[in-house]
Amino acid sequence: MEQDNILVMQQVDKSFDRVVALSQVNFELKHREILGLLGGNGAGKTTLMNILYGLYRADSGKILLNDKPVTILSPKDAIRQGIGMVHQHFLQINNYTVLENIILGSKVSRPLTSNYQVEEKAIKQLCERFGLEIDLSARVETLPMGTRQKVEILKTLYRGVNILILDEPTTNLIPQEVDSLFETLKIMVREGLSIVFITHKLREVLSICDRISVLREGKNVISLTRKDASDEMLVRAMVGDNMNLEKSVMFTTREQSAASEGREQTLTLEGVSKINSLKIQELTDISLSIKAGEILGVAGVAGNGQRELAEVVMGIQPVTTGKVSFMGKDITSQLTTERIAEGFVYIPEDRLADGFLNKTSVAHNLILGYHKLEPYSRKGIINWKNVFDSSRKMIAEYNIKTTGPDDIGGNLSGGNIQRVMIARAFSQPSKLMVAHNPTRGLDIPSMDFVYKKLLEHASTGASALLLSEDLDELLLICDRIAVMYRGKVVGILPRDKFEKYEIGRLMSGYDLESK
């Protein structure tokens, strides 16, 4: 019987402090299948798999591997028992070659030399067997994300696993790379592996998985085969009953963009370039403009200058050459505070480093940047009563889970920290919102809420610059999408020209490289 369970987890419980992450979760993986583990952020998918991979210990519950109960003490132990995991963030050494990265930490045949011929041969065989085309002598940092991910997969294959867990593997991949990853997964299953595919993206599970399990708030919701699954069922399972799907932005298609011709331009960038202190060219000759009431998306693989673009617009970093203007006024040398006073709002990408104060209260966090404005303060004196009042309102409206405005920031979870960012940004009437991955770490109803807020914001005639690694998000709500590659804008597409693969092609820098 080929369709027997290779792995079963029974009644797994796990809590962190008082937060229950998993409660009585059951999980089954059959031989030679791709199982989609679906759920929004905070549903417990990664926690469950981290238990399987030995990173966490379950509070209670059983793990059966090939019908035998096992305990998994550490990732090393997991690999020994044939379970491998590829995390969302790759654990690679940038300036090592592919080969070196793969064999790093494993036993080699000639330990005192750097002669890895035996290993190289073994890895080449694996590549052939699984149809992975990777140059083993290339340095990892020179490779595109899709290839780096394959290196990561190869790393686990080399260690002889037969169960592979992939945590959100399509983050940061362009559509073409996603297709290629899926091909690889199919070959792997044919070669006898069993795969767990963790994701929050519906379309992906429907296109690749044999079976789908949905988790929500740390509990099993449904498990079914692809044949029996439908879009709507899965959405309902993921979001629960307390979300009105008809009124949602995410699951309805937006009609033609609102920003019509003839609206005046608000933000304009002309030939903006930026060279940092290490003499690295971060932005090259960027020219963009956003109209009133328009949402301009910026697509690109992470690290292609999006963050620098956002910071240049906000005045956090100076431009080297070029001109930034707003409402016809040159603001190239304007300070960040002045821009904030003019109605600029920023949701930074790296919320922990750039957006959040761990050591101070939630109220401190909610007024950061706007603390000089009424009603928060007058003549240099902060009115804490007003601050606390509006903090309580924001906590309620944005569903921030905290004990109150005087709770210390460090007590908040990632998703709630993100909600603080969102609440802070939307608490102010703004003219230009710069939002970088604003929905990262949010569950589906919250994501939808953010989209609604962004559209509302646009409908008041304000502009928005939405930088995101989630292409679906951009396609959903942007009026135009600019694609960035290596600090350049390589294309701008209007809404009626949105096409996933075209954007993917631009994101990969294909056009530039071939010229």
Partner 1 sequence: MTQVKKIFPYLVSVLAAFLVVGILLWVLKFNPLKAFETLLFTSFRTPNGFIQTLLKWIPLTLCALALTVPMSAGKFNIGAEGQMLVGAIGAAAVGIIGKDLPIGLLLPLVILAGTAAGALWGLVAAWLLYQFNINEILSTVLLNFISFSLVDFVATGPWRDPAAGHPTTVAIGEGGFLPMLVKNPPLHSGIIIAIIVAIAVYYFTSKTTAGYELVVTGANPRASKVHGIDVRKMFLFSLVLGAACAGLAGAIEVSGVHHRLIEGLHSNFATLGIIIGLMARGKNSAVPVVAFFISILEVGGSAMQRTVMVPVQIVLIAEALILIFILLSDIIKRRQK
Considering only residues 303-342, where is the footprint of partner 1 by CB under 8 A?
A: 311, 314, 316, 335-337, 339-340
Contact between 278 and partner 1 by CB under 8 A: the answer reads no
Minimal CA–CA distance to 358: which of 442, 435, 414, 424? 414
Phi, psi dihedrals of residue 107, rounded to the nearest 5°: -70, 135
The smaller minimum CB distance to partner 1, of residues 17 and 255, is found at 17
- The binder of partner 1 chosen from 236, 372, 392, 500 (CB under 8 A): 372
| 41 DSSP assignment | T
DSSP 157-212: HHTT-SEEEEESTTTT--HHHHHHHHHHHHHHHHTT-EEEEEES-HHHHHHH-SEE
The smaller minimum CB distance to partner 1, of residues 216 and 274, is found at 274
The window from 61-69, 226-234, 265-273, 365-373 that contacts partner 1 (CB under 8 A) reads 365-373
Q: Which amino acid is at 402?
A: T
Q: How far is the CB of 102 from partner 1 (least distance, A)?
A: 35
The smaller minimum CB distance to partner 1, of residues 23 and 377, is found at 377
The smaller minimum CB distance to partner 1, of residues 95 and 276, is found at 276
What is d(CA 64, CA 29) in angstroms, rounded to the nearest whole number? Answer: 10
Are 363 and 406 spatial neighbours (Cβ–Cβ below 8 Å)? Answer: yes
The smaller minimum CB distance to partner 1, of residues 116 and 426, is found at 426
Give the Cα-Cα-Cα angle 154, 155, 158 (nearest 5 degrees).
80
> Token digits for 88?
């969302």
- The binder of partner 1 chosen from 84, 355, 438, 487 (CB under 8 A): 355
Q: How far is the CB of 418 from partner 1 (least distance, A)?
A: 14
Q: How far is the CB of 282 from partner 1 (least distance, A)?
A: 17
The smaller minimum CB distance to partner 1, of residues 122 and 316, is found at 316
The smaller minimum CB distance to partner 1, of residues 105 and 404, is found at 404
For the chain, helix, strand, coil in percent to 5 are: 35, 25, 40
Alpha helices in 10-116 (DSSP H): 45-52, 75-80, 98-103
- Count interface residues toward partner 1 (CB under 8 A): 30
- The binder of partner 1 chosen from 116, 197, 356, 426 (CB under 8 A): 356
Interface with partner 1 (CB under 8 A):
17, 311, 314, 316, 335-337, 339-340, 346, 348, 353-360, 364, 368-369, 371-372, 377, 380-382, 384, 409
